[in-house]
Each structure stands twice: as structure tokens, then as C-alpha cells.
Structure 1
């Protein structure tokens, strides 16, 4: 994983890029909202992002997620 992200952090990163709320992520991953928040906080620290927008830009820039409507080749 880039920049030492854990597999779970990478999953959360993709879900953030997909626009899911913390509650939706918790349901999808079968974990608590508090655990999702911890993963998000870790993502901010590892990526240097200050907010979710920064995390999404990081994901797009590294090819970990793709904007809606774009084709993946």
C-alpha cells in the first residue's frame, strides 16, 4: 500500500472517495463509527490531508480510486 496505508485504511479511502458517510462506511465494513473515525484520522496523518477533499485528491492521484464516470484502463 502507498505511504504505509493498511488494507483497512485503503478500504476506507475508497469509500470516502465514493462519497459514503461515516455511518455508511461503518455499516459497509461492519465496524463502529468510532473505528471509522480512527481510520479517517489515520488517513489524514498518513496522507498529509486536512480534510476529506484532500484524502480524495490523494486517492485519485495515486490511482486508488477514480472519479465517477471515468473509465479505468
Structure 2
């Protein structure tokens, strides 16, 4: 069961990476994306885009949180 959950979680993350392909994604750690961008980019917009459900799992409710920092740190 654990492998199924991990596989679906990875597919959801890859969907977010595809949606955010216009961003400069410098890495990902488990369920986090690390994006380098200018300060005028709206964090809420990025979170909304990342929380978009994949077409093949349209009834799932996703919620995303984000934070801004000058350097990467584990929140």
C-alpha cells in the first residue's frame, strides 16, 4: 500500500511541475518545489497553480502552502 501512495504522490507532484513549467524550478524535496523567481511573483498564484488537480484525479482536493526566503531552508 505504501508504494501505491508514494507513486500517486509523485504523479501529483509531477503534474504540479508540468503546470509550473514556466517557473524556474531548481529542485524538489519530497513534496516541496524549490522555485527561484523575482520578488514581484505572487506566492498565492504559485500555490493555486501547484494545487491544481490532475485530469485523471479531478475529484481530489489539494491544498498547498508556500513561503518566501532568500535561501532554501526546510520549513
More helix by share: 1
Structure whose alpha-carbon radius of gyration is higher: 2
TM-score normalised per structure 1: 0.31
More strand by share: 2
**Structure with greater contact order relative to length (CA < 8 Å, sep ≥ 6):** 1
